[in-house]
Amino acid sequence: MPRSVHVRLDDEAERALRTVRSSDGLNDSEAVRAALREAARRRRREAVLREEIARIANDPAEIEEARRMLEELEPLSPDWPE
């Protein structure tokens, strides 16, 4: 069921809305819906990445593999300037 939402835009939000509108020639409603979908996708993607990072950070085998990789790459790393 369609739902209306009314918001007051501050200057930053107004600029953001103009940016979203102008990128694809959208009206206000279309731009807001597009921005909400984009923000939701980004948040879901970030949540998946956080979960994966937590899994790797708590996996002893992953930690050991990272340690081994760092040891192998160390000879290739340039010296830090004094």
Cα dist. 43→25, 36, 37, 46, 52 in Å?
25, 10, 10, 5, 14
- Three-class secondary structure of residue 80 per DSSP: coil
* Tens-place pLDDT, residues 20-60: 999 889 999 999 999 999 999 999 999 999 999 999 999 99
Confirm whether pTM is higher than 0.75.
no
- Helices then strands (H, E): number in the chain? 3, 0
* Tens-place pLDDT, residues 66-79: 999 999 999 888 88
Q: Is the pLDDT of residue 82 over 80?
A: no
